[in-house]
Amino acid sequence: MESSKALQIMLSSAILVLLLVSVFPDTEGCRAADGSNGHVQFHKVSHYEFSGPKWPPSKYNLTYAFLGNYPSDKINPVALDFDQWAANSGFTFSQVPNNTQSDLTISFQRLDHGDNSPFDGPGGVLAHAYDPEDGRFHFDADDSFVVGAVADSFDVETVAVHEIGHLLGLDHSLVQEAVMYEFITSGATNRDLHPDDIAGIKALYGF
């Protein structure tokens, strides 16, 4: 019981801490930068930190759409990620056609794509997603995204489950096993929400 109380106090205190360790300027969205050891580091770091804005209760039933020439083989992995967040929060997510207005949009973009956060070609920035209630989630089309663990490529489901956390208002976790951890590794997968991810979304929204 005492250890549980201590953990709760530690987590509550950690919410107040935001460590900026990237050389990139701060943005509303998520950035990633190449590391020297095959890892990629996401931009912001904290222990289930909140990015600020959150969705109002009237928007707990969110719609999402895949825009443009989004690869058909990469739709289901992202849909599975939405299902996982829904199963562990008070949100529901429904896919709508790409010609329908939606709360969230997912697309592949290249270089300067009109959001003042240009991608940088192969390597470097993998993806970014914006805080509520913006709803945009962009993959860098010049990076290699696959389904599964493939050397020198990134698992689309692993990247998406992380970025959806940002769409919902979460920043990064210091827990290495969490999907909101600051690092992602090529040729590997980390798709399952960790108790820290679940604690973060529940604490943010009071679910």
Model confidence over 126-139: pLDDT tens digits? Answer: 899 999 999 999 99
pLDDT of residue 3: 42
Catalytic entry in 2, 133, 157, 163: 163
**pTM of the complete model beyond 0.95:** no
- Please state, in angstroms and rounded to a whole number, the distance separating the CA atoms of residues 199 and 113: 34
User: pLDDT averaged over the chain?
Assistant: 80
CATH of the domain at 195: 3.40.390.10
Tell whether residue 121 is among the known ligand binding residues: yes
Q: How many domains does the chain have?
A: 1
Extract the runs of DSSP E, i.e. beta strands, from the chain.
32-34, 39-42, 61-66, 92-95, 104-109, 127-129, 136-140, 145-146, 154-155, 183-185
pLDDT band at 123 (very low <50, low <70, confident <90, very high): confident
Residue 124 DSSP code: S
2: which residues sit within 8 A by CB, 6+ positions away? none
Owning domain of residue 126: 2-205
Burial profile 158-190: b = 16 or more Cβ within 10 angstroms, e = fewer: bbbbbbbbbbbbbbbbbbeebbbbbebbbeebb
Tell whether residue 113 is among the known ligand binding residues: yes
Question: Is 163 considered catalytic here?
Answer: yes
Tell whether residue 142 is among the known ligand binding residues: no
Between 2 and 108, whose confidence is greater?
A: 108
CB 67, CB 135: distance < 8 Å:
no
CB 181, CB 170: distance < 8 Å:
no
